[in-house]
Amino acid sequence: MTGLILGFLYALIALGYTMVYGVLKLINFAHDVIFATGGIAVFYLFGLWLGITEPVTGAELALVVTAALLIGGLASSGAAAALERLAYRPLRRRNAARLSYLITAIGASFFMTYMYQQDFLLGTGKRSFPNFMDRQSAVTEDFLGTRVTDIMFLVVVTSIVCLIVLDRFINKTRTGRSIRALSEDITASQLMGVNVDRVIVTTFVVGGFFAGVAGVLYGMRFGNVVFNMGFIPGLKAFTAAVLGGIGNIRGAMVGGLTLGLVEHLSSVCIGSEWKNVVAFSVLVLVLIFKPTGIMGERMGG
Amino acid sequence: MAKERDLRSYMNNNYPKTSERVPDGVVKVGDPLFKGWQAIGYGRYLVGALIMLAIPILIDPEIIPALEGVDSPIPFIQGGFGIRVLVVTGIWILLALGLSVVVGMAGLLDLGYVAFFMLGAYTTAFMTPSGGADQFHIVEWPNVAALPFAVLVCVLAGIALGIPTLRLRGDYLAIVTLGFHEIVRQTANNLTITNGSRGIPGIERPDVGLPLSLGGVNTEFGVLSSHTYWMFLLVPAIILAVIMIRHLEDSRVGRYWTAIREDEVAASAMGVPVVKMKVLAFAIGASTSGVAGWIFAGYATFISPNNFPLLYSILILAAVVIGGLGSISGAVLGAILVTGLPEVVREASGGQTIFGFDPETGRIAIFGFLLVVVMIFRPGGLLAPRRRRIELSEASAAEGVIIDESAQPSKDELEYAASIHEDAQRKEGD
């Protein structure tokens, strides 16, 4: 179950990587900060300003949780859109080499991460996340032999809803079709009348939203936020995206779940200190035998 | 057409050397200073070496006791601490040079380069006596003897990583190399022979057997105990690496790399042994980090996995790209910026905060911001390589105008073209 929870979180973050990669062929290295932004925004709004630090119940709980997830998602969307406008679009206008994008992304990631580290924002240490949802109370004590807490249940449900919504969005709506068109051929879709800039921003916004939701869930699950909380999950999510086949949305889900389960199983069977070694070894092995990941690179279903 | 001809003359090895291909208006060819600089040949390296060595000697209070407590004339490089920054910068220059072969010349995106550095350092630690603790070394050889093995291990690791993974396209390679770094680091973190995260202490310093004694304070015979002495090891290593890469760049191998970087399919169609050349790039790139790792292990005398975070692999890539991809001077400049800039910010801020922003802890934020700005305004890096600039100037010139004389078709090519033309006309006549 722990592995599954982790897998769903990875999958949510991986969606952003894979969408941006599908459209721009760019590894958005700053996506880890986008993820962190969601958690940090909710920490600020709910923890510091509204002061909701005690667990709430009933309708109030539903309201608070929904609001938190939405606000986290929107904050991350905003950050992602700003990133696209301020950092990537000038590069696109100049037809920069792909490595320039990568370095820009790294630069943006450093900038935002270490701004969060400043004392007027988060500071260096861990800050405890507002625990408006009781971290101990469990939905069921025995689901296939494990204890499922409310938060775990919430993570699973939210993730599944998000994944289904996104899948429908990409495959059924007009905007989704534009995104798929862009991932096939930018020039051709521009000639066909797709507003490239707007679709690219949309991609960032949508990817950012899911990352923000993941950020809030992450904060609720682990009970704290740190300025560099995004680095490791971001890296793992990127690995998950590649594992599933980068650019492929269903691949991101499959990759995320696979990675989460592999990590959990290896920490149970071999020892948690080896889990990263096993996770990356699995990645290398999969790529050697299937160079475009488990599900291939095609974006649409 | 121009590209095809380019590639053909590449393969025929009659392409002018990079150093000779300087079109007007890009670099001032007529500039007497530039000509003089070219004319002295290897003397250039000597001048560079002397400058690099002079800086630490002139500010080291251990060598010139009169400097104790005096501000050095060069801003930001003050006394002992400044020299330590210089040594670290030197190590990073070596790393950046190696990575610029892999990323800049062969165009392989390597995000785990520091793993090789780490292997070099750990190999050194395993082969030299370390602080009386028996379990942290395999043999007890003098530090200098570990150097060839450190390089060898790195080269072998480069080959071992390269062979299975180089079939992968750019971005997949990036994540695999990143994973390789994490695998190496976590393994070192978990094994007993590496003492896990506690690291290996007391690594012996190299005894270079030279009577180095500058000034009067620190004159331990031959053993590199003063920070400044390390520059005597680093500077020749850097110069050698630069010469090696410079020659590789103009050799057949270097041209193969350029061909692969520009268009892998075309290159392999022209008979470039693509996989072999990629593995070679990995191996050569890894070799300089072996040297760097050996130097680092002896210099720091203590290594632990925490000395080699994933962040460094990313930073070193940033250094190479920000300096100018494929440019040797760019790699050097990038390494200096990455290590030096945060220190400069630290010095300059003097512990003051601006609107609550503390430049000392926020120096990486400043660095990140500068990365973005540099990439937006100079996407090719600060010192884009000469070849890249030639390409850019060719692209901006009107189509069909070739600036470079030597890129004109050779006599043979013209005759060949004429014969084809005649053949075609004859067939039309039939």
- Which pLDDT tens digit goes with each residue over B184-237? 998 888 887 777 778 888 787 776 555 555 544 444 444 555 666 777 788 888
User: Considering the domain boundaries, does residue B162 fall inside one?
Assistant: yes
Q: In this structure, are B35 and B151 located in the same domain?
A: no
Parallel, antiparallel, or unpaired: how do β-strands A146-149 and A138-143 relate? antiparallel
User: Considering the domain boundaries, does residue B340 fall inside one?
Assistant: no
Burial B289-321 (b: 16+ CB within 10 A, else e): bbbbbbbbbbbbbebbbebbebebbbbbbbbbb
Q: In this structure, are B159 and B66 located in the same domain?
A: yes
Q: Mutation test of the interface with chain B: which of A101, A104, A238, choosing the one with the most B Cβ atoms within 10 A?
A: A104
Q: In this structure, are B91 and B51 located in the same domain?
A: yes
Whether the predicted pLDDT of B348 surpasses 60: yes
- Quickly state the pLDDT bin for B26 (edges 50, 70, 90): very low
Q: How many CB atoms lie within 10 A of CB A273?
A: 14
What's the domain count of chain B?
A: 2
Q: Mutation test of the interface with chain B: which of A86, A114, A238, A248, choosing the one with the most B Cβ atoms within 10 A?
A: A114
Sites in chain A below the pLDDT cut of 50: 301
Single out the residue of B183, B160, B158, B168 nearest to residue B308, CA to CA.
Answer: B183
Amino acid identity for residue B52 in this structure: M
* Domain boundary residue, one of B310, B344, B366: B310
Query: For A143, what's the count of Cα atoms within 13 Å in the CB-facing half-sphere?
Result: 11
Residue, of B48 and A255, whose pLDDT is higher: A255
B237/B353 Cα distance (integer angstroms): 40
Contacts of B198 (CB under 8 A, 6+ apart): B304
Single out the residue of B116, B196, B117, B200 nearest to residue B159, CA to CA.
Answer: B116
- Whether B180 and chain A come into contact, CB under 8 Å, resolves to yes
The token duo for A120 is: 């007027």
Parallel, antiparallel, or unpaired: how do β-strands A138-143 and A224-225 relate? unpaired
3-state secondary structure of A288: helix
Phi, psi at residue B41, to the nearest 5°? Answer: 55, -125
Phi, psi at residue B91, to the nearest 5°? Answer: -60, -40
User: Considering the domain boundaries, does residue B161 fall inside one?
Assistant: yes
Mean pLDDT of chain B: 74
Q: In this structure, are B19 and B52 located in the same domain?
A: no
How close are the terminal C-alpha atoms of chain A, in Å?
27
Q: Mutation test of the interface with chain B: which of A280, A288, A297, choosing the one with the most B Cβ atoms within 10 A?
A: A280
Q: In this structure, are B174 and B244 located in the same domain?
A: yes
A31 neighbourhood in chain B, CB within 8 Å: none
Q: In this structure, are B62 and B103 located in the same domain?
A: yes
Burial A4-26 (b: 16+ CB within 10 A, else e): bbbbbbbbbbbbbbbbbbbbbeb
Contacts of A178 (CB under 8 A, 6+ apart): A189, A194, A195, A199, A202
B357 neighbourhood in chain A, CB within 8 Å: 118, 120
Q: How far is B119 from chain A (nearest CA, A)?
A: 16
- Whether B362 and chain A come into contact, CB under 8 Å, resolves to yes
Q: List the single range of B130-139, B166-175, B287-296 with lowest mean pLDDT.
A: B130-139
The token duo for B29 is: 């060819």
- Angle between the N-to-C axes of helices B79-99 and B328-349, in degrees from 0 to 180, rounded to the nearest 10: 150
* Domain boundary residue, one of B275, B310, B345: B310
Residue with tokens 């971001």: A234
User: Considering the domain boundaries, does residue B410 fall inside one?
Assistant: yes
Say which DSSP state B210 is in.
Answer: -
A275/A268 Cα distance (integer angstroms): 9
Torsion sign (Cα): B154, B155, B160, B163: positive
- Quickly state the pLDDT bin for B281 (edges 50, 70, 90): very high
- CA B183 to centroid of chain Cα atoms: 23
Residue-level pLDDT at A187: 85
B407/B413 Cα distance (integer angstroms): 12
Residue B254 to residues A242, B289, B317, B344, Cα–Cα distance (Å)? 31, 19, 20, 36
Q: In this structure, are B130 and B22 located in the same domain?
A: no
B358 neighbourhood in chain A, CB within 8 Å: 118-119
Q: In this structure, are B9 and B62 located in the same domain?
A: no
User: Considering the domain boundaries, does residue B96 fall inside one?
Assistant: yes
CA angle B62, B64, B69 (to 5 degrees): 75
Residue-level pLDDT at B220: 47
Say which DSSP state B356 is in.
Answer: T
Q: In this structure, are B218 and B268 located in the same domain?
A: yes
Put simply, the answer to whether B365 touches A242 (Cβ < 8 Å) is: no
B300/B114 Cα distance (integer angstroms): 16
Q: Is A80 exposed, middle or buried (0-12, 13-18, 19+ CB in 10 A)?
A: buried
Q: Which residue of B has its CA nearest to A28?
A: B171
- Whether B141 and chain A come into contact, CB under 8 Å, resolves to no
User: Considering the domain boundaries, does residue B383 fall inside one?
Assistant: no
Residue, of B66 and A205, whose pLDDT is higher: A205
Residue, of B359 and B285, whose pLDDT is higher: B285
Q: Which residue of B has its CA nearest to A228?
A: B311
Whether the predicted pLDDT of B129 surpasses 90: no
Residue-level pLDDT at B311: 85
Q: List the single range of B97-111, B143-157, B377-391 with lowest mean pLDDT.
A: B377-391
Q: In this structure, are B90 and B239 located in the same domain?
A: yes
User: Considering the domain boundaries, does residue B386 fall inside one?
Assistant: no
Q: How far is B397 from chain A (nearest CA, A)?
A: 17
Residue B307 to residues B161, B264, B282, B347, Cα–Cα distance (Å)? 22, 36, 22, 23
Q: In this structure, are B24 and B78 located in the same domain?
A: no
Q: How far is B174 from chain A (nearest CA, A)?
A: 10
Residue-level pLDDT at B337: 87
Which helix (H) or strand (E) covers residue B355, if one does? none
User: Considering the domain boundaries, does residue B260 fall inside one?
Assistant: yes
Q: In this structure, are B70 and B95 located in the same domain?
A: yes
Single out the residue of B315, B324, B304 nearest to residue B385, CA to CA.
Answer: B324
Put simply, the answer to whether B179 touches A113 (Cβ < 8 Å) is: no
Residue-level pLDDT at B38: 58
Which helix (H) or strand (E) covers residue A59, if one does? helix A58-83
Burial B135-164 (b: 16+ CB within 10 A, else e): ebbeeeeebeebbebbbebbbebbeebbee
* Domain boundary residue, one of B288, B310, B332: B310
- Quickly state the pLDDT bin for B92 (edges 50, 70, 90): very high
Q: Which residue of A has its CA nearest to B104?
A: A99
The token duo for B37 is: 């600089």
Please identify among residues 223-252 of chain A the ones whose CB lies closer than 8 Å to any CB of chain B.
235, 238-239, 242, 246
Domain span holding position B162:
44-310
- Quickly state the pLDDT bin for B415 (edges 50, 70, 90): low
Parallel, antiparallel, or unpaired: how do β-strands A224-225 and A127-128 relate? antiparallel
Q: Mutation test of the interface with chain B: which of A31, A91, A103, A113, choosing the one with the most B Cβ atoms within 10 A?
A: A103
Put simply, the answer to whether A274 touches B380 (Cβ < 8 Å) is: no
Give rounded-to-5 percent helix, strand, coil for chain B.
65, 0, 30
Which helix (H) or strand (E) covers residue B138, if one does? none
Phi, psi at residue A146, to the nearest 5°? Answer: -120, 160
B290/B376 Cα distance (integer angstroms): 34
